[in-house]
Structure 1
Amino acid sequence: MRLIRSPLALLFTGATGLASLLTLFEVSTPGLSYWALALALYWLALAMTWSVLLARRTGRRTWPPWMFVPLLLVLGTMLLVTVDAPLHARFALSESSLERYARSVRDDEGRDRWRGLYQVGYTEKIPGGARFMVTSLTMNWKSYGFAYIPDRVPGPDEGWYEHFKGPWYIWTDGP
């Protein structure tokens, strides 16, 4: 089968696959980092290249089969991002480690250590649980993390919390 035969096809498909992987990694943490800007420019360059490749095909009856592979990668990535699958998958793979850590945490203990698939930064013991940052400064000038609060719902005067799942909340240092 000669699905991807030309070097240009292989290069473009590989570049699209890399963009997809980087995008899935970027959205697997709460909040978007500054890397998302570079990633957006990368996607823009890929879209422009795709347009040029399509323009070269104008007037021909068929597209080469390899042109559908990058299209499928883009559509698959868009679907996964839309349903928040990367964040939920990475969290699910890390949840037991994060929970063990949250149950045993003391203030600012274990800074910048890996817990599951997340690098945990600032850590704080709070009434009934713990909270810790997993992203540094993002595009909206905030840091995001998770809060583990199994016995109660955090009040509005305690900071900004969004329920994630079970006893877990996404926490940010500002509204």
Structure 2
Amino acid sequence: MDTAETAPGTWRPGRAAAIVPTVVAALATLWATSVPGWDLLWLGLIANVWFCIGLVWLVTLVRMLLRRQSSAWFRGEWPVWSVPPLIVVLVCGLIYVNAPLEARFALSRSALDDRARAVSHGTPLPVDTWVGLFPVEWAERIPGGARFAIDGAGFLSTTGFAWSPEGEPPESEGENLYQHWHGPWYLWSRGA
């Protein structure tokens, strides 16, 4: 009989308590890094959540290791308590290869292409609208294409996408920076 489960006053976190907050924080982190320049406000809030998750995980691990029945606990619970660090490694790897932005862009590509063509031909885009999975703060026509400012992206600068099928858009007075993304698409930012 495992006395760790029957001893009165023994606190033992459930499996959901070990995994669910980590999964929620991971999904929020992936969402916040899926826009050009990242949503740094969200990432700042999520960083606090990650800190709390890490602290609870570490305190619980140390507490369990200091108990007399730690070897029994290791045999039964190590798979559950190894999941949060594995999730952290997975999230870091996905962010490193830019997978969140790649996936969100791929899912929004047809809507972005359609809106870019329309805006480049002079059709106005309603302010604060969604184009695919991206919240667009505003869009404007540029020589040979269109530019979209993504709401919440970047920190001290306006950040988004530029569509320019004729090549890199011209930089006006050095304030706009472009980085080729996919096909006629560029990641765009305007300095503060």
TM normalised by structure 2 equals: 0.80
1:81 corresponds in structure 2 to: 95
SS of residue in 2 equivalent to 1:171:
strand
Instruction: For 1:58, give the aligned amino acid.
Output: L
Gaps of 5+ in 1: 1-5
Match status 1:151 vs 2:158? no
**Which residue of structure 2 aligns with residue 170 of structure 1?**
187
Bigger drift between 55-64 and 74-83 goes to 55-64
2:20 to 7, 14, 17: 14
Cα displacement (A) at 1:174? 1.4
CA deviation digits over 1:109-136, x for unaligned, max 9?
2221111111111111011100011133
Q: Please give the residue correspondences for 1:114-129 in structure 2 after superposition, counting only pairs within 5 Å.
A: 114-129=130-145
- 8 Å contact kept, 1:9–1:66: yes
Aligned residues: 169
Equivalents in 2 of 1:136, 1:52: separation in Å? 35
Residue 58 in structure 1 maps to residue 65 in structure 2: yes
Establish whether residue 69 from structure 1 lines up as the match of residue 83 from structure 2: yes
Q: Which letter does structure 1 place at the counterpart of 2:58?
A: S
Post-superposition offset of 1:78: 1.4
C-alpha contact 2:18 2:81 (8 A) present in aligned 1:
no
Describe the SS at the equivalent of 1:110: coil
Secondary structure in structure 2 of the residue aligned to 1:13:
helix
Contact 2:168-2:178 at 8 Å conserved across structures: no
1:156 CA displacement: 3.8
Question: What percent identity do the matched residue pairs reach?
Answer: 38
Distance 1:95 1:12, change over 3 A: same
User: Over the residues paired in the alignment, what is the CA RMSD in angstroms?
Assistant: 1.9
TM-score normalised according to structure 1 size? 0.87
Residues 108, 121 of structure 1: alpha-carbon distance in 2 compared, 3 angstrom cutoff:
farther
Q: Name the counterpart of 2:50.
A: 43
Task: Determine which structure has more spread, i.e. the larger CA radius of gyration.
Answer: 2
Counterpart for residue 147 of structure 2: 131
Shift, 1:137, TM fit: 6.2
Q: Counterpart of 1:91 in structure 2: which amino acid?
A: F
Q: Tell me, what secondary structure is at the counterpart of 1:121?
A: strand
1:71, distance to aligned residue in structure 2 (A): 2.3
Q: Distance in 2 between matches of 1:127 and 1:155?
A: 8
Task: Return the offset for 1:138.
Answer: 3.5
8 Å CA contact retained: 1:107, 1:123: no
Does structure 2 conserve the Cα–Cα contact (< 8 Å) formed by 1:121 and 1:133? yes
The SS at the match of 2:37 is: coil
> Structure 2: where are the runs of 5+ without partners?
1-11
